[in-house]
Copies of this chain bind each other. A is one copy, B any other.
């Protein structure tokens, strides 16, 4: 049975905001990404999205003006349909679990930030 070692997986790439698929369960993908700077506002109409921080600190803004602060050992589920904007000053390593159908830029028109063909590592 294949143990997934997060540290080893993050060592396989260095670019930002480009999620890799590291596993799957129940029609969902387990993804990891290195992120730094600001992502765009978006939501996923049908998909709840789990965020976990592996290293660093992730901030997620919401339309009500609040910002969730996620540190290692903390997780957050962004419910479907909820606008959110992830950002962080320093490079941060995150893990996400969400349905296989989930596209990173959600309801937004495809842009240079959009990733539809994710590498499996």
**A interface list, Cβ under 8 A from B:** 1-7, 23-26, 28, 30, 47-50, 54, 60, 62, 66, 68-70, 73-78, 82, 97-99
Contact = CB atoms under 8 A, between A and B. Distances in A.
27 contacts: A1-B68, A1-B76, A1-B82, A3-B68, A3-B69, A3-B70, A3-B76, A4-B74, A4-B75, A4-B76, A5-B73, A6-B73, A7-B73, A23-B50, A23-B75, A23-B77, A25-B49, A25-B50, A25-B77, A25-B98, A26-B47, A26-B98, A28-B28, A30-B75, A30-B77, A54-B73, A97-B97
Contact of A50 (B30, B60, B66, B76): B30
A75 B1 contact: no
